[in-house]
Each structure stands twice: as structure tokens, then as C-alpha cells.
């Protein structure tokens, strides 16, 4: 198969980029795979280009590049096709509308895979007939605002399939949206085996990782760890991750650490990439979030042989951690439960090490190879259906296309012509 992924910016850093790279690399062992990045702001991908995968971009934001697009007049005009409800809308423009439309109109692939709602909606509207359309949900349906959810409910009916990263979110899509004939499948993110030896779970360190944002509730972890230190002062906690632009959460955590007298026990380590070398220095991983769309750090820790103490928050942890076997699941927001779960593993060396071995074994199901096989099976089935038997019925296709086809075509042709003229003048 020829598979084309459409990604917001393949040259940045983030969970969607990482899991897309992992999947593309695994699929490229048997298929012709490309990643098309809407934006390119640096010469090489920050996370390393996946081997065997063709990399392309549509809008060049490198100021020293001869193809720099930042001064294009269309780049100053707001996007009309990319939906306003998507949180990245302000980064999109008439120029991205034109470039994406031209790319999708000339796409030489069996299928195109979108990687965020705005791009999924765009491929649903503009991909040429004959190409299978798959939209990936890397967050959750509930995490999107009303305006975007309404657009999803309308436009996703023209997709062939939607994949979510948890069964819980797949249920939300099936039960709350009317997407007749659209396949909705849960396929978790993949995490490659680490390049380091697994932890032996003897070090007296608890490790947590993720952006320093309120949703991660690191304040609860610090409060819980103050209770841990009261019983076991020989244990310490490292928290890895960068803060938001304001730095308010980091400052608040520092203040809480000082207030609780934990400056010798709790350490804000800043970001680390890759993180696997830091996971294996610990013996327990801790996740205290109020919401996780999946839980990449949980899987990363387990792949390094650490048992995980996690809140049983929506949506991912309960589908990853088996309570009492490879970690512990505790109620959301319960400081005492977090502390008790940590102390239970801290106080029983044999149980902690046994749980670490179980975590390592269980995490193998998230290896890129089996995850890619699940995607491959879905893609193969969709392609095999052919144009006449695809999930979008001919009548449904016609009805939806009739609502916007005239506008989309006129809009695209008008600005595509202007873009071609400008690019010709630039190259001359």
C-alpha cells in the first residue's frame, strides 16, 4: 500500500509526532509510506526522521530557506477551510488552505491519514475520490470544545474510519456521534523497546514525567510524597518536564516543595529527551493526572521495567495498568490513596520488583510491530473494499459533497492560481 500521513509539524516535539513516526517507520518495512508536514520550521526533524519514510512539507517557515513562505500575502489571511474550533487554527492561513488542497487533489496514495481534528476535517472535505480517508484522534472527543465537536459530527461522516487511542474514547465516538458506516477502532500508541537495560527496582527513587501543567496535578504528587517522606525519609522523587510559557505551574510547585520542607526530597529536573535513561534510575513511576488521553509516560515507564502508581483517570491508565499486578490504580485527586500506594510498593521490595517485571512483560503489547499490524489490518480491509463498496455510501457521499463542493472548488482554484503565479515569480 501507499500510505500518506498528514501531520501539523513533523519538525517539532510532541507525542503525536513521536507516535506517528513510530507507526510510519514500522509500516515502511512493508509499504510505501510518506509523512507530509504542513509546516517546516527547521532543517531536520527534532525527533529524528523515521528510517524508510519519505518526508515532505507544504509551507516552509525557515527564514533562511530559498523557499521561505512567511512573506506570502496569503499567509497573512486567516484559514477558511481549516476549522476554527481546532486549537491550532491561528497558525493556519489561506496559504495552508491552498497548499493542503493542492496536495490532497494530486495525492498519489491508497490512503491518507490525518493526525488531528482540523486535518481530519480537511482531508474529509478535500481528498480526491479513490483515496481512503482515515482520521486519528490522539486526544479525546471530550477534550474538544463544542464548536469543534459539532464540526467533527458533520464532517467525519465522509471519513472511512476513525481511530482512537483508547477503547473508552472509541465508545464515546460510537455512542455520542452519528457516523453511520464509519469504522471506529481503538488502537493504542506504540512505544519502542528502550535502548537501556531495564530497572532492577532497587534504587530509592520515584520518577514522574510530563509537562508541568495543572492537568498533571503534580501538586497532589508533592503532597502525597510529603506523607511518604514522613514514613520513609530515605526515598526521593524526581519530576521531569518543562513548564508552560508563563512558568506559573513550576513556580507554584517550587513554592509547595519549600512549604512542605521537601527541597532535599523532591526535585524538578526539567525536560529530558530521551527519557528512558532517567526512568531506569528509579524504582516506581507516578502519574497523578486528572485526565490522560492515553498515557505515553505510563507505557514508557513500564517498558523500562517500572511499576506505575497512577490515578484511574479518563481515559488511558485503566487500559494500561493492571491494578495489583504491574502497578496500582488509585482514585483521582486522593492524596492519601496515592501516598498509600507508593508506600505499599516502597515497603515491599519483593512485590515492587515482581511488579516491575510484570510491567516490563505487559508493556511488550505496545511495541511498534504489533501496533502497526493492527493499523495495517484496518488499512488493508478499507483499501480492499474499493470505491464502490466503501463505508461512505454513494448517496451519503453525494449529499455531503453537494453542501460544500462548489465553494471548496471555487475557493481552491482561485487561490491555487494566485499561489502558482507568486511561486513562479519567486523562483524567477
End-to-end Cα separation, the chain, in angstroms? 38
**Can you give the residue ranges of every domain in the chain?**
2-190+370-427, 205-366
User: What are the residues facing 183 on neighbouring strands?
Assistant: 161
How many other C-beta atoms can be found within 10 angstroms of the C-beta atom of residue 128? Answer: 10
Looking at the structure, give the CATH architecture of the domain made up of residues 2-190+370-427.
3-Layer(aba) Sandwich (3.40)
Looking at the structure, give the CATH architecture of the domain made up of residues 205-366.
3-Layer(aba) Sandwich (3.40)
Q: Where are the beta strands (DSSP E) in 41-140?
A: 54-60, 111-114, 132-136
Please list, in sequence order, all residues whose beta carbon lies within 8 angstroms of the beta carbon of residue 89, skipping any fewer than 6 positions away: 78, 79, 82, 83, 118
Q: How far apart are CA 26 and CA 47, in angstroms?
A: 16
Let me know: does 205 contact 212? Beta carbons within 8 Å. no
Per-residue burial over 54-80, b if 16 or more Cβ lie within 10 Å, else e, is: ebebbbbbbeeeeeebeebebeeeebe
User: Is 2-190+370-427's fold the same as 205-366's?
Assistant: yes
Instruction: Extract the C-alpha cell encoding 227.
Output: 506523607
**By C-alpha distance, which of 86, 167, 98 is closest to 126?**
98
Q: Is the dihedral of CA 256, 262, 263, 267 positive or negative?
A: negative
pTM: 0.86
Q: How far apart are CA 82 and CA 96, in angstroms?
A: 8
Question: For every one of its 428 residues, what pLDDT tens digit does the chain have, with 9 covering 90 and above?
Answer: 999 999 999 999 888 999 999 999 999 999 999 999 999 999 999 999 999 999 999 999 999 999 999 999 999 999 999 999 999 999 999 999 999 999 999 999 999 999 999 999 999 999 998 999 999 999 999 999 999 999 999 999 999 999 999 999 999 999 999 899 999 999 999 999 999 999 999 999 999 999 999 999 999 999 999 999 999 999 999 999 987 766 889 999 999 999 999 999 999 999 988 899 999 999 999 999 999 999 999 999 999 999 999 999 999 999 999 999 999 999 999 999 999 999 999 999 999 999 999 999 999 999 999 999 999 999 999 999 865 444 444 444 444 444 444 444 544 455 555 555 556 655 55
**By C-alpha distance, which of 279, 261, 271 is closest to 223?**
261
Amino acid at each position: 500500500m501507499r500510505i500518506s500521513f498528514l501531520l501539523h509539524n513533523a519538525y517539532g516535539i510532541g507525542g503525536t509526532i513521536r507516535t506517528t513516526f513510530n507507526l510510519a517507520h514500522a509500516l515502511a518495512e512493508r509499504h510505501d509510506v510518506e509523512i507530509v508536514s504542513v509546516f517546516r520550521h527547521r532543517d531536520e526533524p527534532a525527533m529524528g526522521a523515521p528510517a524508510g519514510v519519505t518526508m515532505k512539507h507544504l509551507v516552509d517557515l525557515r527564514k533562511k530557506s530559498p523557499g521561505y513562505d512567511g512573506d506570502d500575502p496569503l499567509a497573512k489571511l486567516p484559514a477558511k477551510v481549516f476549522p476554527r474550533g481546532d486549537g491550532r487554527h491561528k497558525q493556519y492561513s489561506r496559504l495552508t488552505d491552498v497548499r493542503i488542497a493542492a496536495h490532497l487533489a494530486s495525492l498519489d496514495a491508497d490512503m491518507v491519514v490525518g493526525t488531528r481534528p482540523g486535518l481530519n476535517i480537511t482531508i474529509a472535505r478535500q481528498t480526491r475520490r479513490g483515496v481512503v480517508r482515515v482520521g486519528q484522534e490522539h486526544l479525546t472527543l471530550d477534550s474538544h470544545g463544542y464548536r469543534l465537536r459539532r464540526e467533527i459530527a458533520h464532517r467525519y461522516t465522509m471519513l472511512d474510519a476513525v481511530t482512537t487511542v483508547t477503547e473508552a474514547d472509541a465508545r464515546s465516538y460510537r455512542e455520542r456521534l452519528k457516523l453511520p458506516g464509519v469504522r471506529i477502532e481503538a488502537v493504542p500508541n506504540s512505544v519502542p523497546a528502550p535502548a537501556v537495560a531495564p530497572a532492577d527496582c532497587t534504587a530509592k527513587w520515584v520518577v514522574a514525567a510530563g509537562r508541568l501543567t495543572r492537568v498533571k496535578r503534580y501538586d497532589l504528587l508533592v503532597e502525597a510524597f510529603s506523607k511518604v517522606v514522613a514514613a520513609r525519609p530515605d526515598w526521593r522523587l524526581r519530576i521531569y518536564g518543562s513548564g508552560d510559557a508563563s512558568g506559573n505551574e513550576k513556580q507554584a510547585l517550587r513554592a509547595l516543595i519549600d512549604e512542605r520542607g521537601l527541597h532535599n526530597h523532591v526535585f524538578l529536573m526539567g525536560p529530558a529527551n530521551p527519557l528512558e535513561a532517567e526512568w531506569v534510575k528509579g524504582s516506581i513511576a507516578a502519574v497523578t493526572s486528572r485526565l490522560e488521553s492515553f498515557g505515553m509516560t505510563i507505557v514508557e515507564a513500564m517498558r523500562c521495567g517500572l511499576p506505575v502508581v497512577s490515578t484511574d483517570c479518563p481515559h488511558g491508565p485503566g487500559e494500561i495498568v493492571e491494578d495489583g499486578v504491574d502497578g496500582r490504580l488509585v482514585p483521582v485527586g486522593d492524596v492519601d490513596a496515592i501516598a498509600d500506594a507508593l508506600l505499599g510498593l516502597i515497603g515491599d521490595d519483593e512485590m515492587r520488583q515482581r511488579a516491575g517485571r510484570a510491567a516490563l512483560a505487559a508493556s511488550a503489547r505496545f511495541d511498534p510491530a504489533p501496533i502497526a499490524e493492527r493499523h495495517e489490518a484496518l488499512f488493508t480491509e478499507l483499501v480492499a473494499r474499493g470505491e464502490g463498496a466503501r463505508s461512505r455510501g454513494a448517496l451519503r457521499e453525494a449529499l455531503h459533497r453537494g453542501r460544500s463542493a462548489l465553494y471548496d472548488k471555487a475557493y481552491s482554484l482561485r487561490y491555487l492560481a494566485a499561489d502558482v503565479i507568486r511561486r513562479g515569480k519567486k523562483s524567477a
